[in-house]
Amino acid sequence: MPPFQPSSVLVDHALDKQIEEPAIAYADGEALPPVAPIRPLDRDHSILAFNERVLDWAIREDVPLLERLRYLCIVSSNLDEFFEVRAAAHLAAADGGDAKEGYSLQSFEVLAVKALDLVVRQYALYNDALTPAFAAHGIRILSHGERTGAQRRWVRAYFQREVRPLLIPVGLDPAHPFPQVANKSLNFIVRLRGGDAFGRENEIAIVKVPRVLPRIMRLPQQVAPKGMKFVSLSSIIRTHLAELFPGRQVCEFSQFRVTRHSDLAVDEEDVRNLRTALRQGLQHRHYGQAVRLEVSSGCSNFLADFLQTQFGLPSAALYRVHGPVNLVRLVQMVDLINEPELLFPPWRPAWPQRLSRSASIMADMRRRDLLIHQPFESFEGVVAFLREAVNDPQVLAIKQTIYRTGADSELMELLREAVRRGKEVTVVVELKARFDEEANINWAEALESIGAQVVYGVVGLKTHAKMLLVTRREGGRLRRYGHLSTGNYNPRTARLYTDLSYLTANAELTADMDAVFDHLANQNRVPRLRQLVMAPFGLHQFLLDKIDAVGRAAERGEGGRIVAKMNALTDEDLMHALLRAAQRGARVDLIVRGACILPARVPGVTDNIRVRSVIGRFLEHTRVFYFGSGAQEDLYLSSADWMNRNMLRRVELAWPVTDKKLRQRIIDECLVAYLHDDRDAWSLEPGGSYSRAPGALDGTGAQNALMARYAPVTLGGAARPQKVDA
């Protein structure tokens, strides 16, 4: 990684290397005529392009084998969520036969072709590369034909003992209609010959496979003494399928799996208790509208057509796969194989800089603001801050937002302990955090039951802001201590995601935090905030104004510079603002992990804009925004991506970093390091495709450089890559 430099030199110098073409020229100080608005890139296709970049980690031979399998499963999990959230609008338009807001039958078909290409590549990688690579290490998933007699006897005994008692085949007839099939569950469809017990020829049967059964089992050593041999649940059931239908002949069968729309739709204006309504909605999530059907590659047209009719799906929604239909469940193998050399070397986060291990963290905060760069530094610093507050008798009140904290959280247990110790505890719980609703409802009920004040934010908005505020009595007055973060209060994902935690005792900043908590509790007007910028009330316009100021400075010849790191850029207003600033002469570098709708490097339009995506061992999650207008430099951290929903339909926060040393550290580690990444970076091309950055795979990479910086003796990392978190 290049040497870290002072910010005024560093940011300019960094992009001098990134931008080879000259900036847009202006004659006689006059602005060029406005360019016709550029058409945004398609968001859904950009999401699929992101998953192609994730899949690349499964392809790379320099990645340990089990980690390659993990990345393959991550792509499958991401695709599941993509269909659960993004496909229903296309299908609704397809069913209606008319285009609506860019959705139509044609848009669904084009999207399906793109998704299918990615799925085909997944299974080709699994069958042609990963399976032989595992076999070379003595690791194999055995089919029925590959099992020895002893192994077949073990499998049969396992089927009779563990599997058969849980299976209830359903023969379809007027009294037994097609059963409810849960979202993403494993099932078999069977075509039978011969009559049933009553002489009727009901030829179709469905076998639902319970989720409680493990999908991969390791054969015991006594029947597989060499290497590691596994069997899949689907193979076990397929082998013994005929035993479920005595007296009849199985002539055709196939695995199948249906993906359903899973966004909870609750009319918040029309419910009296949002928590109760969401809990009821969770019961129906597994049975929403079908959006995708996966079947085995050998599934007959008859069975495939039958399933499509039952689920009301067009042909473009059918995916024939050359392997297990529930590919994501292969991730279980990672935990079943004890081969450390097939994993990333262990990564142990460093203790946060300037944070005392034994002395008071709040005393450290009184001296200066503190920063934790996760996962290179340990999230335990945040936990220690809360633990100190809970144990400190002078602490009177604790307030915290909860978006994604997990089902098993030490922080939530600490809040419960704070209540038991008589402190005033207020928790703002976001009940609509997608796919974390149940865990959040459970925590809300647990905290409320012992006396914590639990509120659910603002009707119609998601509370996505991440903040923790402690109020302490000191010398006859009250003093506040705050924690703000770009990421969630989840110790598990804090080991896997890159995020910034900001600890401060700044009176203005913590007073703003207190005002936001009051607003979330009583929904009164938000007072004028001094340092925090809050969505949906001002963040969007604030960013538009900042971008415009940079463009004006560039137009005046003073120099204009924007460097922004985020997870997604899909807000068209912000996209057009960046476009205008670049056309005025500002240089714009965007480090966008996932979806980006702004075409970069389009000749004559976005020449001054570069977009990079860095995919590494850790999931990139930090949001950092740098604005340089002449001599003025501003740096902000935020919980918000540049998406319309974050700006207008969520409670989000951004805050300035005014400490010069911390600001320089963030610029060095979160911006410059990623602009110079020559290993894991991809560049967005004008047409929407991504290409490897020059020199990729040959260099160090930003994440590895940061790991070396924080733990120079033990370079490595056992970080588990994760799916996309919104």
Q: How many CB atoms lie within 10 A of CB 725?
A: 20
Residue 6, preceding peptide bond in cis (omega within 30° of 0) = no
CA dihedral 319, 323, 328, 333 (to 10 degrees): 180
Q: What residues does 611 pair with on adjacent strands?
A: 590
Structure tokens at 42: 């398609």
Q: What is the layout of strands, in order, in the sheet containing 204-208? A: 170-171, 204-208, 187-193, 249-260, 290-296, 318-321
d(CA 644, CA 637): 18
Structure token digits, residue 295: 């079947």
Of 464, 519, 540, 676, the active-site residue reads 464
Compute φ and ψ for 430, nearest 5 degrees: -90, 105
Amino acid letter for position 436:
D
Q: Specify the length of the chain in residues.
A: 726
Q: How far apart are CA 442 and CA 449, in angstroms?
A: 11
Burial zone of 244 (CB within 10 Å; 0-12 exposed, 13-18 middle, 19+ buried): middle
Number of Cβ atoms within 10 Å of the Cβ of 214: 13
How far is 438 from 445, CA to CA, in rounded Å?
11
314 Cβ contact list (under 8 Å, min separation 6): 91, 94, 105, 108, 109, 308
Half-sphere exposure of 718 (CA within 13 A, CB side): 13
What lies within 8 Å, CB to CB, of 652 at 6+ separation is 464, 465, 534, 535, 536, 539, 638, 639, 640, 646
CA 430 – CA 238 distance, rounded (Å):
43
The radius of gyration of the chain from alpha carbons, rounded to an integer in Å, stands at 28
Known catalytic membership, residue 45: no
**Start-to-end Cα distance in the chain:** 29
Query: Which string of DSSP letters, residue by residue, matches 473-514?
Result: EETTEEEEEEEEESS-S-TTGGGTEEEEEEEE--HHHHHHHH
> Rounded to whole angstroms, how far apart are CA atoms 375 and 369?
19
Helix, coil or strand: residue 92:
helix
Map tokens 């199985």 to a residue. 250
Q: Which helix (H) or strand (E) holds 550?
A: helix 539-555
Contact assessment for residue 652 and residue 642, using Cβ atoms and an 8 Å cutoff: no
- CA–CA separation, 377 vs 662, rounded Å? 15
Alpha helices per DSSP H over 138-290: 149-158, 233-239, 274-285
Q: What is the DSSP string of 415-445?
A: HHHHHHTT-EEEEEE-TTSTT-HHHHHHHHH
Pairing label, strands 632-638, 624-629: antiparallel
What positions carry a catalytic annotation?
464
